[in-house]
């Protein structure tokens, strides 16, 4: 029944059309100026897959050497190029040997083994091995890249690719236990018809998936740019406020916020120029970023001032960590046209335990502590104590005293 409902030539025509359409979209993507190695690999793989579908669909019309031999070699090449695209998508090197391995294995078996060329079941087994290997490799690349760049569709596409690999591998026992004839009625086997339908659906899914991934990558880049300081590459102020607020909602009893201000930065700009000042900012941001532990949020707050929130630190840990940052900054090697530039930082810190879990209150308290560190000679760490907390309470009471008469007038 299935072999009557599912027509392999029709599926091949549909596969050709789907890969052709996606290939055209990818060409437009490349010509729009968004040329990436991944998009090039995927574009070529779609066009190669389209040609393979045409050749395989014409197997009863043209010579088997062309339809079966070249058609399946191109199909294997399409899979290997798609894998290369997934690897390149995560900026990993692509092995030419790995790309050529699948097509070369098929070509060698078809050209140098008459038994293999004449036995459809053997050909199914080899193509199943090639396709399964590349599909699993694609799924692995997607999952590995999810740790660095958590695009929404990565895991879903990886699961679909892994599922396809498992399904395709099942063709091997079917080909062994229920061999398929290579005669005029080669496609009437029920199991062959079902697997042919799955191949078409998989091809369609992969074709759409590459477009989705390219779209999600573009959106990720734009979001990242909107949340990142262009000069230093760390988070900007608005992104920090969002991240730190989220951290504070989860941890109400722990955490220390630190304001870090580079000492005499205006003098650096005036003496060496703004280019040197930018170099100092970049070097400082890179040095601090390298010392961050998991969960810490670090950002440029404005000018030469940076902010860091350590959600799991108490006061003692924060003092030790902040002093390490101070020493790291003092040892920072920044040279401008051969002239060494001395850099130091003053740090004011405020803890959730003493100052509460409101982000604005923490920033105010840390700013008071930073001011004290500057007044006491710079290049030091100062912790906000009860005095800064009392100042915040007094400030709130002052605001309430002003707000109540205004409310009375309004009434």
What residues are annotated to the active site? 304
Contacts of 321-325 with CB under 8 Å at 24 or more apart are 322/258, 322/347, 322/349, 322/381, 323/381, 324/291, 325/258, 325/260, 325/288, 325/291
Check if the beta carbon of residue 235 is closer than 8 Å to that of residue 299.
yes
115, two tokens: 């038994």
Token pair belonging to 159: 């699961």
Any alpha helices (H) in 170-189, and if so which ranges? 171-177
266: helix, coil or strand?
helix
Backbone angles phi, psi at 381, to 5 degrees: -110, 135
| Residue 255 φ then ψ, to 5° | 120, 145
CB 24 within 8 A of CB 211: no
Write out the H or E segment, with its range, that includes residue 142: helix 120-146
Question: CA end-to-end span of the chain, whole Å?
Answer: 82
Q: At what angle do helices 96-112 and 71-89 cross, to 10 degrees?
A: 170
- Asked if 389 and 354 count as a contact pair (C-beta separation under 8 A), the reply is yes
Long-range contacts of 27-34 (CB under 8 A, 24+ apart): 29/214, 34/214, 34/218
Cβ–Cβ under 8 Å, residues 325 and 344: no
Nearest Cα residue to 42 out of 217, 230, 261: 217
DSSP string for 71-100: HHHHHHHHHHHHHHHHHHHTT----HHHHH
Tokens of residue 22, six digits: 């996606």
In contact, 203 and 190? CB cutoff 8 Å: no
């Amino acid at each position: 029944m299935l072999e009557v409902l599912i027509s392999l030539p029709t599926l091949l025509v549909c596969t050709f059309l789907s890969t052709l359409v996606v290939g055209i979209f990818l060409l437009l993507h490349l010509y729009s100026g968004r040329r990436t190695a991944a998009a090039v690999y995927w574009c070529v793989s779609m066009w190669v897959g389209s040609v393979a579908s045409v050749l395989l669909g014409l197997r009863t019309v043209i010579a088997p050497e062309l339809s079966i031999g070249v058609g399946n070699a191109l199909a294997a090449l399409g899979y290997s190029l798609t894998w290369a695209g997934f690897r390149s998508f995560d900026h990993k090197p692509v092995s030419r040997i790995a790309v050529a391995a699948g097509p070369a294995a098929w070509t060698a078996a078809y050209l140098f083994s008459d038994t293999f060329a004449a036995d459809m079941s053997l050909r199914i087994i080899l193509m199943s091995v090639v396709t399964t290997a590349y599909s699993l490799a694609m799924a692995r690349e997607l999952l590995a890249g999810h740790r660095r760049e958590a695009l929404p569709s990565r895991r879903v596409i990886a699961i679909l690719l892994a599922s396809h690999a498992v399904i395709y591998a099942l063709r091997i026992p079917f080909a062994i236990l229920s061999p398929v004839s290579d005669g005029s009625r080669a496609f009437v086997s029920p199991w062959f018809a079902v697997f042919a339908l799955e191949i078409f659906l998989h091809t369609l899914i992969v074709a759409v998936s590459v477009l989705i991934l390219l779209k999600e990558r573009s959106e990720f880049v734009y979001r990242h740019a909107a949340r990142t300081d262009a000069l230093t590459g760390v988070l900007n102020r608005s992104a920090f406020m969002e991240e730190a607020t989220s951290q504070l909602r989860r941890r109400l009893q722990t955490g220390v916020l630190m304001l870090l201000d580079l000492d005499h930065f205006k003098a650096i700009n005036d003496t060496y120029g703004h280019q040197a000042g930018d170099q100092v900012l970049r070097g400082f941001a890179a040095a601090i970023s390298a010392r961050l532990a998991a969960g810490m949020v670090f950002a440029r707050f404005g000018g030469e001032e940076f902010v860091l929130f350590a959600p799991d630190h108490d006061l003692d840990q924060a003092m030790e960590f902040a002093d390490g940052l101070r020493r790291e900054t003092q040892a920072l090697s920044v040279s401008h046209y051969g002239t060494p530039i001395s850099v130091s930082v003053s740090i004011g810190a405020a803890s959730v335990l003493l100052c509460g879990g409101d982000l604005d209150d923490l920033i105010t308290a840390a700013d008071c502590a930073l001011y004290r560190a500057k007044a006491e000679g710079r290049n030091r760490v100062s912790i906000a104590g009860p005095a800064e907390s009392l100042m915040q309470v007094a400030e709130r009471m002052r605001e309430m005293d002003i707000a109540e008469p205004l409310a009375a007038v309004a009434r």
